[in-house]
Amino acid sequence: MRVPDPVAFDTSTPAVVFKLDPNVLHHGGLGVIRSLGRAGVPVYAVHEDPTAPAAHSRHVRGRWLWRPDPDDPERINIGLAALAERLGRPAVLIPTDDAAAIHLAEHGSSLRGSFVFPEPPAGLPRRVAGKFTLHQVCRELEVPSPRAELIGTTAEAIEFAVEAGFPLIAKLATPWTGAMKVRSTTIVRERAQLLALTRECEQQRAGRLMLQEFLPGGAGNDWFFHGYRGSAGCRPAFTGVKARSYPAHAGLTTFGRCTSNTLLRGQATELLKRLDFRGIADLDFRFDHRDGRYKLLDFNPRLGAQFRLFRDSAGIDVALAAYLDLTGQRVAEGLPPVGRSFLVENYDPLGALSYWRRGDLRLRDWLRSLRRVDEVAWFARDDLAPFALMCVWMGRRALTRRFGAKPGKRLVDPPRYEERGRDGGSRHRGRTPYAVKEDR
């Protein structure tokens, strides 16, 4: 199914793609770069590594090579201010991870002269991004959600497991602050696994653990909602089905389809309105056959990595909608592209293998689904470098895991700026000291 190009609009305001999580293979940021860049917007992006695949997209006008300490908000603001000084004009700032969205909501007021970004209630992104605090929000607003408990001791974990039964879902309560040596979401199938996970979290100081009842899954039960709520309300608003994920049944979407669900869309948009949320949101739901309700599992106060699945008949996705609204332009209304599908090439084979081993997916069904893909996360004929570098990074990860190498994640500070020419080559390189003005 071909989706039309977006209608013409003013693209003179630059955009900056901003994240704090050191995830080199984050395809959501690449999606924003391509979506805005193809429309003619000058796009600049923060990257943690010079060989990050998205940093080499032909649609990136300038790269801000930087990995700041997420626990130093003052330093982050100084670095962003230095980037704003480089640009020399206000820019739309689009966060692509929870840590960045939380930072802007809580510490972004001093940046508003240099950047334009949504302004939700200051503490709201942290509350909804937190796994247990989201559960508390759901209880306050009487929004359906699975039963959950914040675990402080092994005894509490065992007690919850006895009451709820196995399998369980274990989540890091604040995954953006943990050491991330523990998966942010894990399906726990037995007591020994629960005890091991609890001890591992304590030893690695990965953050407190939340246990959640496991809702029976199955084909067509996992749903997600992507929307942008701005000056004109929630527009656009999309619903889709998560057909596969990695890890299986408890991870990021690797294959999804746009499927209209009026009831769920209304439930999600009403929640955003009640919270007075502003900006891009990505919500995960699971349909519970026991009571016939959609239960809210996760609330990401920023765009979801698979947002390019949703691009309506006017050519608008949530990134373009945010850009238009924040620059004072009208967001055109179009029809959702029902049936459109999206695949993440580097993770879907891994997820499909897990589904196959569990007996949840046949090889021929997986191959058949690949023939119906409308858009993929990495490969694009007009932008090949990110796909090639993604393959290199996946090979590197396989080798380091095979031979036990553990490369460190050093901070890159102060940031280094690289401006790219129209042909994709670097035109200027320079390290930007904090609080030092550079000639442009």
For residue 85, what pLDDT is reported?
A: 93
Q: How far apart, in whole angstroms, are the C-alpha atoms of residue 370 and residue 366?
A: 7
Share in percent of the chain as helix, strand, coil (round to 5) = 35, 25, 40
Q: Give the pLDDT of the chain (440 residues) as one tens digit per residue.
A: 444 555 579 999 999 999 998 899 999 999 999 999 999 999 999 999 999 999 999 999 999 999 888 889 999 999 999 999 999 999 999 999 999 999 999 999 999 999 999 999 999 999 999 999 999 999 999 999 999 999 988 899 999 999 999 999 999 999 887 555 567 889 999 999 999 988 887 776 656 899 999 998 777 899 999 999 999 999 999 999 999 999 888 889 999 999 999 999 999 999 999 999 999 999 999 999 999 999 999 999 999 999 999 999 889 999 999 999 999 999 988 888 888 999 999 999 999 999 999 899 999 999 999 998 999 999 999 999 999 999 999 999 888 776 555 554 555 566 787 876 544 555 545 554 433 223 33
For residue 439, what pLDDT is reported?
A: 30
For residue 69, what pLDDT is reported?
A: 86
The reply to whether 258 and 346 lie within a common domain is yes
The reply to whether 245 and 329 lie within a common domain is yes
Q: Is residue 133 in some structural domain?
A: no
Looking at 349, 378, 407, the residue that finishes a domain is 378
Half-sphere exposure of 16 (CA within 13 A, CB side): 29
CATH number of the domain at 186, please. Answer: 3.30.1490.20
The reply to whether 387 and 371 lie within a common domain is no
**Contact indicator for 195, 160 with CB cutoff of 8 Å:** no
Q: What is the 3-state secondary structure (H, E, C) of 201-217?
A: HHHHCCCCEEEEECCCC
The reply to whether 111 and 154 lie within a common domain is no
The reply to whether 55 and 173 lie within a common domain is no
The reply to whether 204 and 306 lie within a common domain is no
Looking at 160, 187, 213, the residue that finishes a domain is 213
Q: Is residue 142 in some structural domain?
A: no
Looking at 195, 213, 231, the residue that finishes a domain is 213
pTM of the model: 0.91
CATH number of the domain at 422, please. Answer: 3.40.50.720
Burial of 165 (0-12, 13-18, 19+ CB in 10 A): exposed
For residue 401, what pLDDT is reported?
A: 72
The reply to whether 9 and 81 lie within a common domain is yes
The reply to whether 209 and 322 lie within a common domain is no
Q: Is residue 123 in some structural domain?
A: no
The reply to whether 374 and 388 lie within a common domain is no
Task: Report the candidate in 362, 372, 374, 366 with the shortest Cα–Cα distance to residue 349.
Answer: 366
The reply to whether 349 and 402 lie within a common domain is no
Domain that holds residue 189: 147-213
Question: Please, what's the b/e burial string for 262-277 (b: 16 or more CB within 10 A of its CB; e: otherwise)?
Answer: eebbebbbebbeebeb
Q: Is residue 132 in some structural domain?
A: no
What one-letter code names the amino acid at 440? R
Q: Is residue 239 in some structural domain?
A: yes
CATH number of the domain at 267, please. Answer: 3.30.470.20
Q: At what angle do helices 154-164 and 191-204 cross, to 10 degrees?
A: 150
- Report how many domains make up the chain: 3
Q: Is residue 396 in some structural domain?
A: yes
Q: Tokens 């527009």, residue?
A: 235
The reply to whether 348 and 250 lie within a common domain is yes
For residue 298, what pLDDT is reported?
A: 96
The reply to whether 303 and 261 lie within a common domain is yes
